[in-house]
A and B are shown apart, each in its own frame.
Chain A
Amino acid sequence: MITVPVIDLTAASEPTDRPAVAAAIDKALSTAGFMAVTGHGVDSALVQRMFAAVAEFFALPLDEKLRSTPLDPSSPRGYSYVGATAQAQAHDATTAPDLNETFNAGLDPVPDTPYFRDHREFFAPSIWPSVPAGLADIWSQYLAAMDALTGRILALMAEALGLSGDYFTPLVDRSMASITANHYPALEAEPDPNQFRGGAHTDYGTITLLATDGVPGLQLQDTDGTWSPAPDVAGAFHVNTGDMLSHWSGGHWRSTWHRVVPPSGTPPFPERTSIAYFHSPNADALIQPLPGMPAGDFEPFAAGRYLSAKLAKFHSARTAR
Chain B
Amino acid sequence: MSAFIPVIDLTRSRQSNAVIIDAACRESGFLVVSGHGIDPDLVSRTHEITLALFQQPDSWKLRWTPPADAVGLRGMHLTPSNVSAPENVTTASDLCQLFTMSRLGEPGVAASAGLEGAPDGWYSANIWPDQPTGLRDVWLEYYAAMETLSSELIRLFALGLGLGEGHFDEFVDEHITNLTANFYPPIDEPPLDDQFRKGPHSDWGTLTILSQDGTGGLEVFDRRDSTWVDVPAIAGAFVVNIGDLMAAWTNDRWQSTKHRVRVPPPARRRIPRVSLAFFHHPNWNALIECLPSCVQPGDAPLHPPVTAGAYLMNRVAVTYT
Contacts and interface: CB of A to CB of B under 8 A. Distances in A.
A84 B119 contact: yes
Interface in B64-80: 68-72
Contact of A74 (B72, B304, B318, B321): B304
Contact of A66 (B69, B71, B116): B71
Contacts of A321: 116-117, 285
Interface in A17-73: 61-64, 66-67, 69-73
A120 to B, nearest CB: 11
Nearest to B311: A71
Nearest to B67: A61
Contacts of B311: 71
B49 interface: no
Interface residues of B, number: 26
B130 interface: no
Interface string B280-321: 000001010000000000000000111100110110111011
A62 B71 contact: yes
B313 A319 contact: no
A270 interface: no
Interface in B20-74: 68-72
Interface in A61-92: 61-64, 66-67, 69-74, 81-84
Given A63-B71, A63-B72, A74-B304, A319 B318 contact: no
A249 B271 CA distance: 76
A309 interface: no
Contacts of B117: 83-84, 97, 317-318, 321
B189 interface: no
Residue in A62, A74, A320 whose Cβ sees the most chain B Cβ within 10 Å: A62
Nearest to B289: A319
Contacts of B68: 61
B120 interface: yes
Contacts of A62: 69, 71, 119, 121
A71 B306 contact: yes
Contact of A67 (B119, B121, B310, B318): B318
A55 B311 CA distance: 26
A84 B117 CA distance: 5
Contact of A71 (B69, B310, B320): B310
B120 A82 contact: yes
Interface residues of A, number: 22
Nearest to B68: A61
Which among A67, A69, A82, A320 has the greatest number of chain B C-beta atoms within 10 A? Answer: A67
Contact of A69 (B70, B287, B310): B310
B306 A66 contact: no
A74 B116 CA distance: 18
A69 B304 contact: no
B314 A71 contact: yes
A318 B316 CA distance: 18
Contacts of A64: 317, 321
Nearest to B73: A63
Interface of A is mostly: loop
Given A66-B119, A67-B314, A321-B117, A73 B307 contact: yes
Interface in B111-134: 116-121
A87 to B, nearest CB: 15
Given A63-B70, A82-B120, A317-B117, A69 B313 contact: yes
Nearest to A83: B119
A69 B305 contact: no
A168 B279 CA distance: 54
B29 to A, nearest CB: 20
Given A63-B317, A66-B313, A66-B314, A81 B119 contact: yes
Nearest to B72: A63
Contacts of A318: 117, 307, 310
A194 to B, nearest CB: 15
Interface string A172-211: 0000000000000000000000000000000000000000
Contacts of B313: 66, 69
B310 to A, nearest CB: 6
A72 B120 contact: no
Interface string A216-242: 000000000000000000000000000
Nearest to A69: B314
Interface in A134-167: none
Contacts of A69: 310, 313-314, 317
B69 A61 contact: yes
Contacts of B316: 63
Interface of B: 68-72, 116-121, 285, 287, 304-307, 310-311, 313-314, 316-318, 320-321
23 contacts: A62-B121, A63-B70, A63-B316, A63-B320, A63-B321, A64-B317, A66-B314, A66-B321, A67-B314, A69-B317, A71-B310, A71-B311, A71-B314, A72-B304, A72-B305, A73-B310, A82-B120, A83-B117, A83-B119, A318-B117, A318-B310, A319-B287, A320-B285
Given A62-B121, A72-B304, 4 more contacts: A73-B305, A82-B119, A83-B117, A319-B285
- Minimum-distance CB pairs A-B, first 7: A66-B317, A81-B119, A67-B317, A72-B304, A63-B71, A321-B117, A321-B116
